[in-house]
Amino acid sequence: MMGGGFGGELFHMLFPDVCVVCSSLLVEGEALCCNTCRREFSPFASPLESESMLRASISGRFGSGFVFRQGWCRYLFHKGSPLQEALHAMKYGGVHALGGVFGRELGEWMLIGSGGEVMVDCIVPVPLHRMKKTERTYNQAEKIAEGIGAVMATPVMGTLLVRTRQTASQTGLAAVDRRKNLAGAFRASGVPGGARVLLVDDVVTTGATMAAAAEALIEGGAGSVSLAAVALAAKE
């Protein structure tokens, strides 16, 4: 957006900032998504509530087979919701700046739940396969991770984890099929020994992606893995 004054007003008239969900004009203080649509999101009441629901969701599918140190999600994800539309715009519609918005919001949420200090050494986004990243031109998880890192002053180390093979879309797959689909799909290297890693993605559905990525990080030398995502899928 151009600077203030008449030039900025004219630019806004010709190329208005609009909500990525409802296309209404954004007002001062709104970033990419209007407050009316944001009020339709389903935020967790507290970081503790989000971690409890995340643990319950993952333990219900993995039992003791997937242990993470801490976990944070900002919203509960419902199909057909304005949040889904916003995340879709971020992931597939080229609105990568929304990743930074969600990431900074998530980072602030994490600090609230941790007394102002989150005990992690580095942040690692769940990677896309290189062919998928070339197709989309960016990885939304990286943008979210960068937003979190900016708030927490913690380095984002995206090169520590790579996706070694292209996997079939997870959409529509049952939990057991998601795990099979992702078996051996990630490899970690260069992880500082004993590092406390924060693994970041946009949405946790069954936890299969996070589980496979976390396993690779632990095998690669991480001391612990914590999880952070914009949203946790509701059981519907």
Q: 3 with 91, same domain?
A: no
pLDDT in tens, 186-220: 999 999 999 999 999 999 998 888 988 999 999 99
Supply 46's token pair.
Answer: 């507290």
Structural domain boundaries enclosing 27:
1-37
| CA nearest neighbour of 151 among 188, 204, 205, 114 | 114
Using left for φ > 0, alpha for ψ between -120 and 50, and beta otherwise, residue 176 falls in alpha
Q: How far apart are CA 150 and CA 27, in angstroms?
A: 25
Contact 121, 158 (CB under 8 A): no
Compare 170 and 105 and report the one with higher pLDDT: 105
Report CA dihedral (148, 138, 187, 158) to the nearest 10 degrees: -40
For 231, which DSSP code?
E
Q: 64 with 117, same domain?
A: yes
Q: 17 with 103, same domain?
A: no
Kindly state the percentage of the chain with pLDDT values over 70.
84
Q: 101 with 151, same domain?
A: yes
pLDDT in tens, 94-112: 899 999 999 999 999 999 8
Q: 223 with 110, same domain?
A: yes
DSSP β-bridge partners for residue 18: 25
Q: How far apart are CA 79 and CA 70, in angstroms?
A: 26
Supply 230's token pair.
Answer: 């914009």
Q: 12 with 82, same domain?
A: no
pLDDT tier at 127 (50, 70, 90 boundaries)? Answer: very high
**C-alpha neighbours within 13 Å on the C-beta side of residue 148:** 36
Q: Out of 52-61, 147-156, 222-231, pick the least confident.
A: 52-61
Q: What is the pTM of this model?
A: 0.86
CATH number of residue 122's parent domain? 3.40.50.2020
Q: 27 with 56, same domain?
A: no
Domain count, the chain: 2
pLDDT in tens, 46-92: 999 999 999 988 887 776 667 789 999 999 999 999 999 999 999 98
The pLDDT, as a whole number, for residue 3 is 42
Q: 26 with 46, same domain?
A: no
pLDDT at residue 4 greater than cutoff 90: no
Alpha-carbon 137 to chain mean position: 17
The pLDDT, as a whole number, for residue 99 is 96
Q: How far apart are CA 131 and CA 126, in angstroms?
A: 15
Q: 122 with 156, same domain?
A: yes
Phi, psi of 75 (to 5 degrees): -130, 160
Cα distances (Å, whole numbers) of residue 147 to 9, 53, 158: 29, 23, 13
Q: 120 with 176, same domain?
A: yes
Q: How far apart are CA 61 and CA 64, in angstroms?
A: 9
pLDDT tier at 117 (50, 70, 90 boundaries)? Answer: confident
Burial of 28 (0-12, 13-18, 19+ CB in 10 A): exposed
Supply 139's token pair.
Answer: 């990885």
Q: 135 with 210, same domain?
A: yes
Q: 196 with 170, same domain?
A: yes
